[in-house]
Amino acid sequence: MAEAVVTVDGWSALHDTRQFDWTSWKLISKEERQAAIDEFQQLISKWEAVEEEKQGSHGIYKVVGNKADFMFIFLRESFQELEQIKTEINKTKLGDFLIPGYSYVSIIEKTMHDPMKAGEDRELSAYVKEALKPTMPKWEHACFYPMARRRDPGANWFEIEKEERTKLLYEHGMTGRKYAGKVKEIITGSIGLDEWEWGVTLFAHDPLQFKKIVYEMRFDEVTTKYAEFGDFIVGNFLEKEELSNHLSI
């Protein structure tokens, strides 16, 4: 039996997409629309305060394409906090027009490939600690996709030896390092939590870099032989101050 790797885990993550009911939004008065926007901006300010205290992070994105209108990404200490955020959104006046769509639940993880002796606590580097509880970059674009590893005959990720998995992931990581400064990523684990096994969230100033990094990584053996992907969702970052203009009629 192949040996399982050890993971260290950080904040819980929720990717929450919404369609916007533009038809109903147009039917209410200008004053009602502005009041709804003001209320929602106050809620965003609450999230910003949490981020300033380094107790969580968030990002709001205008989705490109018709899979959704908005994508909210939240990082928090617990699932209880994530559920509370979802409920708070739904309770706002603007929430009446935000129709729930696709969502993804996961937990930030880092894989620890080095062995740990029995009875010892693992000492995490400052880099790993920061990666487990990150502040999401407020870059112009984000891309999210879920993924899993194949269990096909002759290509079963969970059958190969740990050393081989480590080698393949290292090579994969070296490809990613070529994009340092151009793409940042957050990897979340979702085994037992959602349909797929991992979620990948990428951030970039130029969305072309999403295409380039994913394309190049497709040629890594860990991807060509063992990877399966779900739908990709790409969005443009939405500033709090931009909300009023974006929803103006």
Task: Give the active site residues.
Answer: 145
Q: What CA–CA distance (Å, rounded) separates 206 from 98?
A: 28
Q: What CA–CA distance (Å, rounded) separates 173 from 220?
A: 10
Q: How far is CA 27 from the centre of its chain?
A: 34
> At 6, which amino acid appears?
V
Q: Where are the alpha helices (DSSP H) in the chain?
A: 22-27, 30-52, 79-91, 126-132, 162-177, 208-217, 221-224, 243-246
- Which conformational region is residue 95 in: left (phi greater than 0), alpha (psi within -120 to 50 degrees), or beta? alpha
**Nearest in space to 198 (alpha carbons), one of 223, 181, 180, 215:** 223
> At 154, which amino acid appears?
G
Q: What CA–CA distance (Å, rounded) separates 76 from 3?
A: 30
**Nearest in space to 187 (alpha carbons), one of 245, 104, 90, 92:** 104
